């Protein structure tokens, strides 16, 4: 049996993550405890290298498992030479903070990217391979863990491509019969507001960021860069990660 502590969309907020795990009772020295991240480790926050080192250390010690999110894909694509995509994500998706955290070089313009990539490769030579090998979906017991979503009405949902899995919004897709999907990517506050505008929820309401549970789906993205919270969801597995 394994007690799994699930987080998602940490977005470079290391201290917020550690505080949330402490409050949830996660103990990395307890053999039955395991940490599972559903992706989006980076961007927007400024503690990206600290988040990476923490998850990488625990993963190397077999105490954590990390999945790929769309923001992790941004960093992977940058390391593989996609400067055009990097410029867009620097401007719109918080990649600037990630590249500055890992490289130690301030972003000024497009010319900065080459130096930043070179410095990251030197300082974190294992980062590229780590990102390349992050799984996009894990299935254990009656649970499916992923970042974005799959269309459960498709009998071949397990064949869903990587891009779709990390970008889909599970709240807008059918669940998988007989399974509970636990996902991040879509902020719980936004789900609540979209489902019932008459509730009058706002981002000033702490309850807007709480975990959303239904019979076949659990959404845990707490909009960390705004709420300064990381939701932790716990499940007990017979099949270990």
Tens digit of pLDDT at every position of the chain (241 positions): 999 999 999 999 999 999 999 999 999 999 999 999 999 999 999 999 999 999 999 999 999 999 999 999 999 999 999 999 999 999 999 999 999 999 999 999 999 999 999 999 999 999 999 999 999 999 999 999 999 999 999 999 999 999 999 999 999 999 999 999 999 999 999 999 888 776 666 777 888 999 999 989 999 999 999 999 999 999 999 999 9
> In Å, how far are 127, 186, 227 from 169, measured between CA atoms?
27, 6, 20
> In Å, how far are 29, 42, 134, 192, 196 from 200, measured between CA atoms?
43, 31, 39, 10, 8
Identify whether the C-beta of residue 221 lies closer than 8 Å to the C-beta of residue 187.
yes
Closest CA to 182 of 219, 229, 232, 237: 219
Identify whether the C-beta of residue 9 lies closer than 8 Å to the C-beta of residue 69.
yes
pLDDT of residue 39: 98
Identify whether the C-beta of residue 72 lies closer than 8 Å to the C-beta of residue 131.
yes
Closest CA to 71 of 115, 124, 134: 134
Identify whether the C-beta of residue 151 lies closer than 8 Å to the C-beta of residue 134.
no
The residues pairing with 219 across neighbouring beta strands, listed in sequence order, are: 183, 212
Vertex 75 angle, CA 21 and 8, to 5° = 25
Residue owning tokens 């949902």:
157
pTM to 2 decimal places = 0.96
Q: How far apart are CA 71 and CA 37, in angstroms?
A: 13
**Domains in the chain, please, with CATH?**
2-69+134-237 (3.60.21.10)
Pairing verdict, β 212-213 and 180-183: unpaired
Identify whether the C-beta of residue 188 lies closer than 8 Å to the C-beta of residue 221.
yes
3-class secondary-structure state, position 20: helix
H-helix segments, the chain: 14-24, 48-60, 70-79, 83-92, 95-103, 112-123, 127-132, 162-167, 188-195, 224-227
Q: How far apart are CA 137 and CA 131, in angstroms?
A: 14
Closest CA to 212 of 241, 169, 160, 167: 169
């Amino acid at each position: 049996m394994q007690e799994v502590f699930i987080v998602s969309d940490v977005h470079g907020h290391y201290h917020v993550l550690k505080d949330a795990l402490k409050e949830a009772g996660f103990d990395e020295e307890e053999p039955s405890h395991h940490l599972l991240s559903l992706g989006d480790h980076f961007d927007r926050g400024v503690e990206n290298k600290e988040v990476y080192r923490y998850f990488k250390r625990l993963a190397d010690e077999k105490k954590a498992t990390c999945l790929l999110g769309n923001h992790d894909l941004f960093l992977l694509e940058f390391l593989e030479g996609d400067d055009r995509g990097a410029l867009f994500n620097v401007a719109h998706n918080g990649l600037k903070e990630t590249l500055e955290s890992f490289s130690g070089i301030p972003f000024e313009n497009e010319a900065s990217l080459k130096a930043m990539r070179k410095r990251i490769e030197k300082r974190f030579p294992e980062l590229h391979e780590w990102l390349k090998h992050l799984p996009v979906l894990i299935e254990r017991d009656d649970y499916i863990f992923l970042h974005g979503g799959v269309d459960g009405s498709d009998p071949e949902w397990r064949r869903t491509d990587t891009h779709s899995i990390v970008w889909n919004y599970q709240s807008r897709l059918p669940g998988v019969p007989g399974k509970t999907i636990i996902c991040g990517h879509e902020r719980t506050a936004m789900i609540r507001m979209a489902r019932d505008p008459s509730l009058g929820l706002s981002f000033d309401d702490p309850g807007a960021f709480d975990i959303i549970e239904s019979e076949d789906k659990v959404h845990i993205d707490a909009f960390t860069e705004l709420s300064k919270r990381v939701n932790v969801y716990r499940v007990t597995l017979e099949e270990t990660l």
